[in-house]
Amino acid sequence: MPYAVFKTPMEHVQDTSGIDAGLAALGVDADAIVAVVAKTEGNGGVNDYSRVLIDRVLRDYFRDKGSRDRAGALAVPVALSGGCDGFICPHFNVFVKVPETAATAKSKDDLRLTVGSAISAKILPEEIGRLGMVEKIAAGVRQAMADAGIANPKDVHFVQTKTPLLTSQRIADAKRRGKTVALTDTMESMAVSNATAALGIGVAVSEIPMPREDQIAKDLAVYSSVASCSSGVEQDEAQIVVVGNRKGIGGSFRIGHSVMKDGLDIDGIFEAIRSAGLKLPDRPRASDMGDALVNCFIKCETDQTGRLRGRRLVSLNDSDIHHTHHTKGAVGAVAALATGDTAVFCSVAALQSGPAGGGMVAAIINADKAPK
């Protein structure tokens, strides 16, 4: 069966009306949902419990609007990236399995979007920032690739993970069991958890060999170009969604990826869209895409040198607003300019998810809507 993807805004933290409308337009119910990747309002930090609320709303939705029981609802990967700084609009990206039609069957000889998911083994507090977590993420990604029917790692264009971070309670739990943790700064553990997951993804898709432990969150020359990693307090396991292309599945959708070399690299966004199969002019604008672009998924990071294209940044020294908020809002605006839509998935804390000071970009298009 082929896959479809739709994007719908979130008018408030319990708003699922857009999901209702999207499923109805596809002629399917909630049982067809295979994953949700969303931007949520909130501070995007360790204590961003809006993510917990929305996660619960979605689990109830899967159960109440379909035939899943509670265990089945908990098995659907949900990756929530908190914080809608600047112009970023809260929204859901819903991945759905749809019935085959005569139209979708015609594209079986072409590369078309496929989705796989997995839930990793439980990630212990003492494994965050260490090789134990890298290995668990890599194993989960390989499982999700198999679920998507992807044999060639080059056909993977986007891997979204949601992993645990460190809280004071989790640190205390490790100490009670006689274990040490890689760090005790809970806010910093978000970036470190993301970096550890990104390296696990890179290992699974053969971009990099197994890293040394001292490279995690430190050697920024080692990274994955398909990793989009978020972390939070929602769960102890990694929720993993692999999105790529394969032949034989049919459908209307394709995905591609590239990287932003820095926070102003709008050409990196357009290159990801071209990679998905949409032809663009040399100097593209949002209007050149028509209705073909579903969404872009972007990771971004404040350059640790404190400079952007030679100019000094002050965000790393801002004691009032954390630098992640500066960067997310700024890169979100660049992405909104490129796509013509503020409902763009822009997530910060991108250590080792793309080059230092930049980040990975994935783009999903509806090939049937590509301008002629």
Q: Classify residue 154 as left (phi > 0), alpha (psi -120 to 50) or beta.
A: alpha
Q: Which of 122, 186, 112 has the alpha carbon at shortest distance from 149?
A: 112
Return the SS3 of 166: coil
Q: Active-site residue 230, yes or no?
A: yes
Count of other CB atoms within 10 angstroms of residue 164: 23
CB under 8 Å, gap of 24 or more: what pairs does 12-17 form? 13/40, 13/41, 13/50, 13/53, 13/54, 13/57, 13/90, 14/53, 14/54, 14/57, 16/57, 16/58, 16/61
Q: In what order do the strands lie in the sheet with 91-97?
A: 3-9, 91-97, 33-40, 78-82
- Taking phi over 0 as left and psi of -120 to 50 as alpha, with beta for the rest, 342 belongs to alpha
The torsion of the CA quartet 31, 34, 37, 38, rounded to 10 degrees, works out to 0
What is the spatial distance between Cα 358 and Cα 291, in angstroms, rounded to a whole number?
Answer: 27
> Which of these is catalytic: 7, 39, 136, 162?
162
Residue 224 a catalytic site member: no
Asked whether 258 and 268 are in contact (CB, 8 A), the reply is yes
- Selected catalytic residue, list 50, 81, 230, 252: 230
Q: Which long-range contacts (CB under 8 A, 24 or more apart) does 306-315 make?
A: 308/262, 308/263, 308/264, 308/357, 309/262, 309/264
Distance of CA 324 to the CA centre of its chain: 17
Active site residues: 162, 230
